[in-house]
């Protein structure tokens, strides 16, 4: 399954500058935008503050969604999105496991407006996107490295 995490870059600063009510409104609009734009096979599993966890069956489609989503949000608050492909344990409406943790950890490395994906997503995506290798990184809690790429529109 494809596992994505998306969160708002600069949310803490927004809370300080605009106040908590405005920041919560921004989060609600962000979550609505994510839910309203996902591919048919993907769905929001949960929100954690300003972060959204999404799962779907097609990592290529989820990567395409993420890149298009970033393009549509370019003039607003920027999101950080990461996608990994692997296995997860479903229990009581949530997903758990090693691959969920990798997706989350890769997401923590993304900058605002960026879509980071792992090698397993690149291998399952079609030619609609371009993937630029960033590095092989050690993510917190894992002994082996994870190869990370930035996903972009092919024409970019």
Confidence at residue 156, expressed as pLDDT on a 0 to 100 scale: 59
54-69 tens-digit pLDDT: 999 999 999 999 999 9
**CA-derived radius of gyration, the chain:** 15
**Distance of alpha carbon 75 from alpha carbon 93, whole angstroms:** 34
pLDDT tens for the chain, 156 residues: list them.
999 999 998 888 888 988 889 889 999 999 999 999 999 999 999 999 899 999 999 999 999 999 999 988 766 678 999 999 999 999 999 999 999 999 999 999 999 999 999 999 999 998 889 999 998 887 777 878 899 999 999 885
Confidence at residue 71, expressed as pLDDT on a 0 to 100 scale: 87
Domain positions in the chain are: 2-153
For 2-153, the fitting CATH number among 3.40.190.10, 3.30.70.1230, 3.30.379.10, 3.30.70.141 is 3.30.70.1230
- The full DSSP string for 29-69 is HHHHHHHHHS-TT-EEEEEETTEEEEEES-HHHHHHHHHHH
**Distance of alpha carbon 129 from alpha carbon 125, whole angstroms:** 8
Confidence at residue 44, expressed as pLDDT on a 0 to 100 scale: 97
Residues in the chain: 156
């Amino acid at each position: 399954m494809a596992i994505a995490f998306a969160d708002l870059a600069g949310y803490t600063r927004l809370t300080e500058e605009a106040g908590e009510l405005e920041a919560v409104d921004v989060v609600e609009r962000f979550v609505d935008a994510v839910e309203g734009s996902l591919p048919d096979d993907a769905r929001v599993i949960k929100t954690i503050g300003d972060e959204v966890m999404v799962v779907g069956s097609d990592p290529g489609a989820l990567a395409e969604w993420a890149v298009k989503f970033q393009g549509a949000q370019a003039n607003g608050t920027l999101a950080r999105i990461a996608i990994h492909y692997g296995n997860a344990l479903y229990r009581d409406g949530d997903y758990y496991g090693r691959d969920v943790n990798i997706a989350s950890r890769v997401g923590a490395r993304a900058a605002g407006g960026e879509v980071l994906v792992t090698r397993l997503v690149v291998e399952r995506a079609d030619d609609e996107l371009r993937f630029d290798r960033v590095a092989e990184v050690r993510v917190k809690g894992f002994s082996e490295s994870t190869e990370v790429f930035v996903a972009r529109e092919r024409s970019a």
